[in-house]
Structure 1
Amino acid sequence: MNHGAVSVRPVFAVVLAALVLIAVTTVLAGRLNHAGGVATAALRAVGQLGAVALLITAVLRSWWASAGFITLMVLVAAATSARRISSLRLGWPVLIPIAVGSLPICALVVTSGAVPLTQVAVVPIAGILVGGAMTAASLAGRRALDELRDRHGEYEAALALGLAPRDAALEICRPSAGQALVPALDQTRTVGLVTLPGAFVGVLLGGGTPVQAGATQLLVLVALLAVEAIAVAVTVELVANGLLSRPGPPHMTRSPRRLVTRSAG
């Protein structure tokens, strides 16, 4: 028996319910407008993790099943990020930064031998990297489009000065979008001092040594920095080239290329 593992007993469900109630109550009291989202996210997490717990043994039995599961991760991440940034109709290009950011880096750490070439090692690492790319793309896309909306006058002024649409958009949105890297940077800077992240704890709970746990977490954190840097850079390029935009009639929500077309008319 692993004495470091969480015990799934009735009290576990009571604690989970209490935590959700605290979160929802706090959001309502602070008028943060996400009470429903907190409750829904918690319920979805219960259902999804329950399903994964039942399916994971079958998934890890073959490389085809593992590859299919990783593909599903990428698609769900893209759908989630698309909703956060724009809409499913206009946001599907966000699949590009998520895939380009996470999959090559995952392939690098696996083929190099840094991570064992086994399903039980590859699938969790892929999930962590895809999740990091999703978060970075969502934050970068939202910040970039918000900047282009809020500083539309500056964008048009840059066009008037002779900048190309892409260059004008990058001047406006790139610095703000780059802030999407701050969570990953802070987590890496403070690891071991403020937090003991999941990979470290997971290796320890799995019976690994503290040295193995530290090495695993270091690999994950540095890989996440690379993944998220790529995801942010590609997302900003998609926004600047008008490939990732928001729906709606107001001209300030449209992509740079559409803004140019409107202003030229």
Structure 2
Amino acid sequence: MSTSLAEPGIPLAVLCVVMALLAAIVYRVSGIGPSFTVPAAALRGVAQLAAVSLVLTAALEYLWSSLLVLLAMFVAAAFTSARRSESGLSGSWLAIPLAAGIGVVVPLCLMTGVVPAQGIAIVPVGGIILGGTMIATSLSARRSLDALSQRRGEVEAALSLGLSERDSRLEVIRPTAADALLPGLDQTRTVGLVTLPGAFVGVLLASGSAIQAGAVQILVLVGILLAQSLAASLTVEFVARGYVQRSPRVK
């Protein structure tokens, strides 16, 4: 099965082009956006995956180069979180929650020997965990800042009661951390019932057993939950302390 699924070649290229064009037609007919949105995204995805495939082919042979790849992914994730949260330069603080999440989970996996200290293992596992952490960081930062903007009166009321600036903000934004963690929690609660996530499918396609695939997937899911919990809690704390603020351009 793994040797015949999505083999590079003309049939795959034609299928992808057809699907992208059909999506463009849907966009055009429904008016939900520019018709070239999906084809443009597909072209960008092809270019990026081609470049990444070439880099990874060489980088995964050595541990040091694999760590450089993971570092580059981290920089991209930090930039994306800052941009998605619309926090401007103050969004650079969001690199700390990201680092806390992946900096705890990946070393734990390596120290226990569950994940071997090899690039072929570290980059995929670290990348999946980093991606989940990025989502939680972006969501918690954006929703916290939205809450502060929309419920400023409640913050001022708490201040008038004698609470500190940090505590006043936390009263408003603490629930946003729980909201940011919902996607990861729902994915873990419904795994195997609603979806078969990427790590599970990847192991199966690599000729692994279903049991091995399940073991890898639960490792990834629980790791993501820990990383997201750390990242979301730190993000909310940074927003409460005023380290991360909404960029003036979007106020």
Matched, 1:155 2:151: no
Cα drift, residue 14 of structure 1: 2.9
Name the structure 1 match of 2:244: 244
Q: How does 1:1-265 map to 2 (within 5 A)?
A: 2-3=2-3, 5-23=5-23, 26=26, 40-248=40-248, 253=251
Instruction: Give the conservation status (yes or no) of the 8 Å contact 1:144–1:176.
Output: yes
CA positional deviation for 1:45: 2.1
CA distance in 1 between counterparts of 2:48 and 2:5 reads: 20
What amino acid sits opposite 1:104 in the alignment?
A: V
Structure 1 residues 95 and 20, CA, compared in 2 at 3 Å: closer, same or farther? farther
The alpha-carbon deviation at position 177 of structure 1 amounts to: 3.1
Output the CA distance in 2 between the equivalents of 1:57 and 1:72. Answer: 16
Secondary structure of the residue aligned to 2:131 is: helix
By how many angstroms is 1:40 displaced? 4.7
AA matched with 2:7:
S
Displacement of 1:25: 5.1
Report if the CA contact (8 A) 1:79-1:88 is conserved: no
Match of 2:194, SS state, is coil
Q: How far 1:17 sits from its partner (Å)?
A: 3.1
Would the aligned equivalents of 2:88 and 2:246 in 1 still touch at CA under 8 Å?
Answer: no
Alpha carbons 1:78, 1:92 under 8 Å: kept: yes
CA distance in 2, matches of 1:238, 1:37: 35
Q: Do the aligned partners of residues 93 and 32 (structure 1) sit closer, same or farther apart at CA in structure 2, a change above 3 Å counting?
A: farther
Q: Cα 1:85–1:38, aligned 2, differ >3 Å: closer, same or farther? A: farther
**What's the counterpart of residue 257 of structure 1?**
none
**What CA distance in whole angstroms lies between the structure 2 residues aligned with 1:182 and 1:20?**
31
The one-letter code sitting in structure 2 at the alignment partner of 1:67 is L
C-alpha deviation, 1:37, in angstroms = 6.3
Q: CA deviation at 1:71?
A: 0.6
Unaligned runs of 5+ in 1: 254-265
The letter for the 2-side match of 1:141 is: A
SS at match of 2:232: helix
The amino acid of 1:243's aligned partner reads Y
- Distance in 2 (CA, whole Å) between partners of 1:239 and 1:136 is 14
Distance 2:67 2:15 in 1: 35
CA contact (8 A) 2:177 2:232 kept: yes
SS of aligned partner of 1:139: helix
When the two structures are aligned, how many residues end up with a matched partner? 251
> What is the RMSD computed on CA atoms of the aligned residues?
2.2
User: Is the alpha carbon distance of 1:27 and 1:104 closer, same or farther for their aligned partners in structure 2, counting shifts above 3 Å?
Assistant: farther
| Structure 2 counterpart of 1:258 | none
Which residue identity does 1:61 align to in structure 2?
E
Structure 2 length-normalised TM: 0.91
Does the C-alpha gap of structure 1 residues 173 and 41 become closer, same or farther in structure 2, counting only changes over 3 Å? farther
Bigger CA drift: 144-153 or 81-90? 81-90
Which ranges of structure 2 fall in alignment gaps of 5 or more residues?
A: none
